[in-house]
Amino acid sequence: MKNNGGEAGEIKNKLWAIGGGKGGVGKSIVTLMLGISLARLGKKVTLVDADLGGSNLHTLAGIKYPRYTLADFINRNVESIEEVTMDTPVENVKLICGADDILGMANPKYTQKTRLFNHLKRLEADVILLDLGAGTSFTTIDFFLYAPNKIVVLTPQITSVQNAYGFIKAGVYRCLNEAFSKDDEALGLIKRGSVSVQGEPIDSIAKLYDAFKVLGEGRQERLQSCIDGLRIKLIVNMVREAREKNVSTIIKSVAKNYLSLSIDDLGTAQYDNTLYASINNMSDFLTKKRASMAGINFYDIASNIVKGMKPPKSRAKAGPVKP
């Protein structure tokens, strides 16, 4: 799912996708806590449960039986996205519940996704947070790529680090496959680069860039454009020890070497017994504004997001992909 320049301009600061590798990294909690923190910083926030196969954001927000879900919008039971948007117990935070109750909804059609994105960008919100499903399905990666702002959540566990890198790599190659969808020669080279096979000479984006040289003018520039457009930030969640805060350096180093991507840290959140003990009654935890170290961490991360919304004087590109 491509996001053209005009659409990106309309929602540059507004739309954030929050993804990761497999489940268990606390992605929905991160989405909820970021939304609450952004609201406390004066932003009108809409949370979208875009996990179309296993939605749970409404439960965490204290809504047991949502009247409408994303399925009602996708299936045209309602005409506008506002009709499936509901209030939460927290002021200035609204929610669009996920659609895990209809068979096949986890793989909406291209036209359904396009309609969803067109309506999302018109929502009256300062920030929209998409809580994506786990894994690397085409729909999940499409949602991730569509958003101008991309967050990958991971924990200090080595399996989580590996899954997070795999998620990022899947996004890179999905972007390239879309960009070169009508170029069979380029697609052949991209496929070789996307599969880890011992002895394969095209084992990085830099080498793919070099291989594109023989295909003629324009291919390398298009590849470079894909890489430059992937602005990815990391949140390391459930940190228990100080040394675990630096686990993101592994992903950043590998992504730079093999994907030619410059990835930034957005912040870390400590594992907090108070927060995770409240999961069964999160609405009470949120409305009473109970103090927690993780809450402070998410407030700091939200502050970084708000600061980043101010237009920079200039933005440097990630740099050429070639060595």
For residue range 122-169, list pLDDT tens digits in order: 899 999 999 998 888 888 999 999 999 999 999 999 999 999 999 999
Residue 22 is predicted with a pLDDT of 80
Judge whether 90 lies within some domain. yes
CA distance 95 to 283: 13
pLDDT band (50, 70, 90) for residue 5? very low
Task: Between 273 and 266, name the one with better pLDDT.
Answer: 266
Judge whether 318 lies within some domain. no
Please state the φ and ψ torsions of residue 162, each to the nearest 5 degrees: -65, -45
For residue range 220-233, list pLDDT tens digits in order: 999 999 999 999 99
Answer for the pair 157, 251: CB distance below 8 angstroms, yes or no: no
Q: Is the pLDDT of residue 178 over 70?
A: yes
With CA atoms as reference, report the closest residue to 94 among 71, 124, 121, 116: 124
Query: Could you list the residue range(s) of the whole structural domain that residue 195 is in?
Result: 9-307
Tell me the pTM: 0.90
Between the alpha carbon of residue 137 and those of residues 20, 142, 152, 227, 237, the distances in Å are 12, 8, 15, 20, 23
- For the purposes of burial, counting CB atoms within 10 Å of the CB of 91, is it exposed (0-12), middle (13-18) or buried (19 or more)? exposed
Judge whether 320 lies within some domain. no
The mean pLDDT of 44-58, rounded to a whole number, is 87
CA distance 302 to 183: 41
- For the purposes of burial, counting CB atoms within 10 Å of the CB of 103, is it exposed (0-12), middle (13-18) or buried (19 or more)? exposed
Runs of H (alpha helix) within 136-280? 138-146, 158-179, 184-194, 205-212, 219-228, 248-259, 273-276
Answer for the pair 206, 322: CB distance below 8 angstroms, yes or no: yes
Judge whether 199 lies within some domain. yes
Please state which of the ranges 64-68, 80-84, 176-180, 184-188 shows the lowest mean pLDDT: 64-68
Judge whether 2 lies within some domain. no
Taking the CA atoms of the chain, what radius of gyration do you get in angstroms?
A: 20
Judge whether 84 lies within some domain. yes
The total number of structural domains in the chain stands at 1
For residue range 206-216, list pLDDT tens digits in order: 999 999 999 98
Please state the φ and ψ torsions of residue 17, each to the nearest 5 degrees: -100, 135
Judge whether 315 lies within some domain. no
Task: Between 189 and 65, name the one with better pLDDT.
Answer: 189
Query: Assign residue 135 a region: left if phi > 0, alpha if psi is -120 to 50, beta otherwise?
Result: left
Residue 97: which CATH number?
A: 3.40.50.300
With CA atoms as reference, report the closest residue to 255 among 231, 236, 239: 231
Give SS3 for 145: helix
Judge whether 322 lies within some domain. no
